[in-house]
Amino acid sequence: MKSRMLQISFALVLSLLIYAFVVPTKGPTPYIIPLPSHVPYPEIPADNPLTVEGVLLGRHLFYDPILSIDGTISCSSCHKQEFAFSDTARFSVGVGGNRSKRNSMSLVNLAWGRRFFWDGRVGSLEELVHHPVTDAFEMGEDTNRVAEKLRNSAKYRDLFARAFPKQKITFRLAAYSIAQFMRTIVSFNSPMDVFVNGMYTRLDDTPYDETFKQFAREHLEETHGLVSEICSQCHGGYLYGGVFMRNNGLGGKTPEEGFKSTSGLLTDLGKFKAPVIRNLSYTYPYMHDGSLRTLEEVMDHYQFLSEEAENLAPELKNARERLRNITPEQKQHLLQMLEYMNDPGLLTNPAYSKP
């Protein structure tokens, strides 16, 4: 009796082991975002883990005009890799020659973002995707029709089956995969990153060392920490950005309500998302309304903040005097520092290009 029980339990354990290890598990493969060692891994929503197949599907969709009503506009029409996934037009061309109402935004390091769009009206990338798809000025399409078109495509039936096995093709899953792809677009390879990464990993004897020291001497000292002490308060240090909603004094020139239209609070009047200030050489023109064409104009804006600027952020109110006293020489160093945050490799990284 005892040995029979043993036999049965042995057979049970064996079949479990066979099931676990021998029966091929054909689910999607987890995707890990490659990051330098000092960058903390972003939090990924539990209901949308990154997978190789999901990211690939999202990448196909990102570049496919199938998401627009007349098959002419893709996400990449307004978020171009060669311009750090932004657009150099002040307002981008959407379906039927319509123009977007705001300046297109650069799509890097979004995995660390908390609020999206200039007015911060969306809190997750999954939730964001239907906005450009249904916006009459951008893609003008209906989400049910998108799902139908995808179901009718052999290519997408295959890509969806790999990314989301045994699930019906829906717009929601399309949005989830596009969110996955966008989370993988990271930019951490500018000279400034190499500099900081070097400090963290203590590459004291590398040939970079002299370059680092010279960099620090020339720019950090000359600007008296202006960037780190003033700009970083809102632009989240040079690593992230995209977390704070603030009024940077542009309001005087534009009638937009900004974050107030999301929160309903008067105190949020004229607040916009302080974007990642990386790759600025490729993401002109600047600000939500694309009203500043060059970085010199941006610096002039901050240096001579309008006295009437309503609801100006305290970080800038307190720095007014200091900003006004920036010398032309310091300004050149500041602009140079901003250029050190360009990551040209992003523009040609094959992982993000049209598949």
Nearer to ligand HEC, 164 or 238 (CB): 238
Per-residue b or e along 195-219, where b marks 16 or more CB atoms closer than 10 Å to that residue's CB: bbbbeeeeeeeeebeeebeebeeeb
Residue closer to ligand HEC by CB (options 133, 159) is: 133
51: tokens are 């997978």
Euclidean distance between CA atoms 243 and 235, whole angstroms = 8
Which one, 162 or 253, has the nearer CB to ligand HEC?
Answer: 253
What is the rounded CA–CA span in Å between residue 97 and residue 111? 31
CA distances from 155 to 57, 128, 151, 167, 176 (A): 10, 24, 9, 16, 18
For residue 308, the minimal CB distance to ligand HEC (Å) is 16
CB of 23 to ligand HEC, least distance (A): 37
Q: Closest separation between CB of residue 343 and ligand HEC, Å?
A: 14
Alpha-carbon distance values, 274 to 244, 277, 297 (Å): 6, 8, 17
CB 242, min distance to ligand HEC, A: 5
Q: CB of residue 208 vs ligand HEC: minimum separation in angstroms?
A: 25
Close Cβ partners of 198 (under 8 Å, ≥ 6 residues apart): 206, 208, 209, 212
- Convert 97-134 to b/e letters by CB count within 10 Å (16 or more is b): ebebebbbbbbbbbbbbebbbbbbbbeebbebbbebbb
* Min separation Cβ 338 and ligand HEC, Å: 6
Closer residue to ligand HEC in complex, CB, 147/231: 231
Q: Is residue 115 within 8 Å of 276, Cβ to Cβ? A: no
- The least distance separating ligand HEC from the CB of residue 56, rounded to whole angstroms, comes to 15
Picking from 279, 340, 329, the residue whose alpha carbon sits closest to that of residue 79 is: 279
Write down the least CB distance from residue 251 to ligand HEC, Å. 8
Closer CB to ligand HEC, 33 or 203, in the complex: 33
Residue number, 190 or 248, with CB nearest to ligand HEC? 248
Looking at beta carbons only, is 56 or 231 nearer to ligand HEC?
A: 231
Torsion of CA 140, 144, 146, 149, to 10 degrees: -130
* Closest to ligand HEC by CB, 134 or 208: 134
Residues that bind ligand HEC (CB under 6 A): 67, 73, 75, 77-79, 92, 94, 100, 102, 104-105, 107, 110, 113, 116-119, 128-129, 132-133, 138-139, 178, 182, 230-231, 233-235, 242, 246, 248, 250, 272-275, 277, 280, 283, 286-288, 298, 302, 313, 315-316
